[in-house]
Each structure stands twice: as structure tokens, then as C-alpha cells.
Amino acid sequence: MSLRLIIFDLDGTLIDSSPDIADAINYAIDPYGLPPVSVEETIGLVGEGISRLMEKLIEKECLPADRELLIGRFLEYYAAHLVDKTTVYPGVRETLEKLAAYKKAVISNKRESLSGTILQKLGLAPYLDIVVGSDTTQERKPSPVPVRYVLSRLGVHPEEAVMVGDSDYDIDAGRAAGLRTVAVTYGYRSVDFLKDADFMIDSLSALPDIAGKLSAA
């Protein structure tokens, strides 16, 4: 069947949000006298949602802190500074324009409201048919549940869709739902985590060619 739907990850695939996330982490942990977390350290922590991010920090730093308190402080800062330093990766806008013939979705392990607001503020929301966050469905990536939710909402079969992301969470979620997968190498995970993808690209600008081949197959 011909390709009809392209599902994107958000952080590390369409946008680089790591500087703003690092700032929010440092605001959250500031009362505990810890040295600031760098952007590089932040990249190694993100990917599984805010709750898991705070759990990792508590474990890593042996913080005598309540997870919910840290989440609250993180969200307090992050919600007010969503796109202070966040950038759209090169070629993303042009690529989304070239993919106008396809339905397009975002599935993020960031909360739906935050994901939607970021996409609106960065001018990417008009390109998308649906945005799904970590709290949209009962499970988040690498579970296939959010992928199946998007397929159901948009009336698309798995063989008519492709999953695009920078993480093994994206590839595993797509494969488990029966989708073909495209890994981008410029994001937050090393290539070692992406070896199970059907395609691997160094720039999102290569995606229209792959979409064209899948549509013609």
C-alpha cells in the first residue's frame, strides 16, 4: 500500500530543545546546591518523559528530593521558557513543505500541551494533523500504543505509515506497531541505538526521497 502518513518524534528530530530543558532542570535542582547540569548531560537524560527524567536525576545525584516537587519546579520554569533557546533543525521547515501530500503527526514523550505549544510558537503546528504527547495515551514510546492511537485517529493502516525519529524509543515504537522506520543521525542518540531502523538519514531533507520511494513501492 502507498505511503499516506509520516509520524515524527519531536525533540532531537524536528527541534533541539536541550538548552531550554537544561535550564529548567537547573531551576528545579537549584535549592539543593548542586552544580549546574550541562546541555550535554541533559541530552543523555532526556527521552522518557519528565517523570523519568526527575527519577534519573534523583538517582544520579542521590538527591534528598521528592520527585513530584522536582517535577513541579521543572514545569513551573519550563512552561514559561519553552522556546527561549529551542531551535528548529536545518531543513525541517522546507522538508515539511515538500511533504504536503502526506498526513503528518508528532508523537513526543513530552506532555501534549507542552509539545503543542512549542510547535505553535515555532511555526510548525500548521504542517501537522495531530500532536500526541506522553499523557495523551496510557503508554508512551517505546510502546506502540501512541502510534496505534495516531493510526486510528487518522484512519491509516500501519503499512501506509512511517515513523521518523532520533531514538531507539521511536524505532521500537514504530516497528512494534508494524510501521517502517527512519532514523535521523543528528539527534540525541548515537547511531548504535538506531541500527534496527529501515532507513538512516543524516538530514531530514533526505526524507522526501524516501517517502517517494515508499509511495511508489
pLDDT at 54: 79
**Do 46 and 68 have their domain in common?**
yes
Q: Tell me: the pLDDT tens digits for 47-86?
A: 777 788 778 877 776 666 677 888 899 999 999 999 999 9
Phi, psi of 166 (to 5 degrees): -105, 5
pLDDT at 68: 86
In angstroms, the CA 122 to CA 48 distance is: 23
Report the SS3 class of residue 11: strand
What 8-state DSSP symbol labels residue 142?
A: T
**Do 39 and 119 have their domain in common?**
no
Q: Tell me: the pLDDT tens digits for 97-151?
A: 999 999 999 999 999 999 999 999 999 999 999 999 999 999 999 999 999 999 9
Which domain, by its residues, includes 39? 18-78
CATH number of the domain at 73, please: 1.10.150.240
In angstroms, the CA 179 to CA 188 distance is: 22
What 8-state DSSP symbol labels residue 159?
A: G
In angstroms, the CA 123 to CA 115 distance is: 12
pLDDT at 85: 97
Q: How far is CA 73 from CA 28, 29, 40, 69, 194, in A?
A: 5, 8, 21, 6, 33
- Among the listed residues 9, 20, 23, 170, the single catalytic one is 9
In angstroms, the CA 92 to CA 211 distance is: 15
- pTM of the entire predicted model: 0.94
Total structural domains in the chain?
2
pLDDT at 121: 98
**Do 100 and 207 have their domain in common?**
yes
**Do 185 and 207 have their domain in common?**
yes
170 has catalytic annotation:
no
**Do 50 and 104 have their domain in common?**
no
How many angstroms from the chain centroid is the CA of residue 153? 19
Flag whether pLDDT at 198 surpasses 70.
yes
pLDDT at 61: 66
